[in-house]
A and B are shown apart, each in its own frame.
Chain A
């Protein structure tokens, strides 16, 4: 479903330093994968390559048939309709209610208006926020705002959910709630690729873990099932 083949990424302004070096891995349908490593290790670069916000300097990324070598910008939009993307800072529209934020993801891809309310209600129920549909982001806690972001990511039934430090701004309780939600999403068949610094969270599960350091994959639990990672 997702394939990285010898992917190297060098940002033009980074004076030749590689953000990723010859990285290869595969992620199967419905898999849950953690990306861990210190800041600047290349976790976010992998996620950006996944939703083709960046292209590899060399090598190839394939996501459900879309190749980084062949996919046009217009086709990237089509790919993203099948992905769910969540960030640490929620990326919500502050002047719109929770349901309007979720509906926005459907409106901009041309979903028929009649189908939107039902899909929005289902997504908000899935993340446990049905009762706060009309609340503005500022009226919600950090954990609730992140749930709205998850509802927006899930409303188009993605085959993979890409989460970049989704618990980075949350307290422990909210983090546990969000992680439980991620498990449920994964249990329903959606693959999850999550970048995180939270090693406690990683150790508490049996999910696959890919560790990066200075752009290299230094550990992949598929190859070494028992996770032995050091704190940052």
Chain B
């Protein structure tokens, strides 16, 4: 109980320094949060595009509907496949007319072949897997041709990989900056109480006892800073939505909670490092 009281007393005794620490932590986590929000929306956008990855197997004229149904059920059982749509010639024509309105008079009945539209499960939409499934589809004797926009999928995955690596690198850089700033902030608090620490040591307090209030203080500051950063990130998103007419996704509750806990963890780690260094020096 005493370490908690001591940690809370530190807020009371140095309100300005505490407010400064919390604000600094909040702004460093806000920068991290904004970056996270951008990364989240890029990921969502790419995921949305990725969902459109499908393989279209064009069927030879004269293939019976029964044969197509049996084959589609078999293909649907492939581990990579989520759904198979059987598209008849009439349905293909309808779709073409809808998608390419300006050519609607060009298309005649039975101009377009029937097809099996194969949709893949998430995690199986990479170029290699798509090519492998396409190859298996080519093995059916009634399949004339298989199309899946190989180049488009390759580009999409290259973009996704670049976004992933850039996201990870920038995310780590932002996290490092946040840790350094939080560590420096907590160090100021430790130095402000250097005399108190020296006296504690002199009168026989163990290092663990000296450390604990600082760890609690750091975690509380991180928690409050994290909460403030979350609020600022949310407000920034709302402002963006309102003035730039963006439809943006926000962190779900679990991620938001993890973000705030990350702040607490940063505060805790910053404190542990700062107090540890100080105790080793005195």
Contact = CB atoms under 8 A, between A and B. Distances in A.
A201 interface: no
B204 A80 contact: yes
Given A93-B196, A95-B13, A109 B202 contact: no
Interface in B132-167: none
Interface stretch (B76-84, B205-213, B253-261): B205-213
Given A107-B2, A108-B209, A91 B204 contact: no
Most buried by B among A73, A81, A82, A107: A107
Nearest to B207: A73
Contacts of B67: none
A78 B204 CA distance: 6
B203 A109 contact: yes
Contacts of A152: 203
A82 B204 CA distance: 8
Contacts of B2: 107, 110
A104 interface: yes
Contacts of A77: 201, 204-207
Given A107-B2, A108-B209, A93 B195 contact: yes
Nearest to B14: A95
B200 interface: yes
B198 interface: yes
A105 interface: yes
B244 interface: no
A81 B203 contact: yes
B13 to A, nearest CB: 6
A107 B200 CA distance: 10
A110 B198 CA distance: 17
B205 A91 contact: no
A80 B195 contact: no
A66 interface: no
Contact of B199 (A81, A83, A91, A110): A91
Given A95-B13, A107-B2, A108-B209, A80 B198 contact: no
Q: Which of A77, A93, A107, A110 has the most CB of B within 10 A?
A: A77
A205 B200 CA distance: 33
Contact of B204 (A81, A93, A95): A81
B202 A104 contact: no
Contacts of B209: 108, 110
Contacts of A109: 203-205
A161 B167 CA distance: 61
Interface in A95-126: 95, 104-105, 107-110
Nearest to B13: A95
A91 B200 CA distance: 11
A145 interface: no
Contact of A156 (B13, B203, B210): B203
Contacts of B196: 93
Contacts of B199: 91, 93, 104-105
Contacts of B210: 108
Nearest to B199: A91
B206 A80 contact: no
Contacts of B200: 104, 108
Nearest to A80: B204
A173 interface: no
A104 B209 CA distance: 13
Contacts of B204: 77-83, 108-109, 156
Interface of A: 51, 73-74, 77-83, 85, 91, 93, 95, 104-105, 107-110, 152, 156
Which 3 A-B pairs rank lowest in CB-CB distance, beginning with the nearest? A81-B204, A80-B204, A108-B205
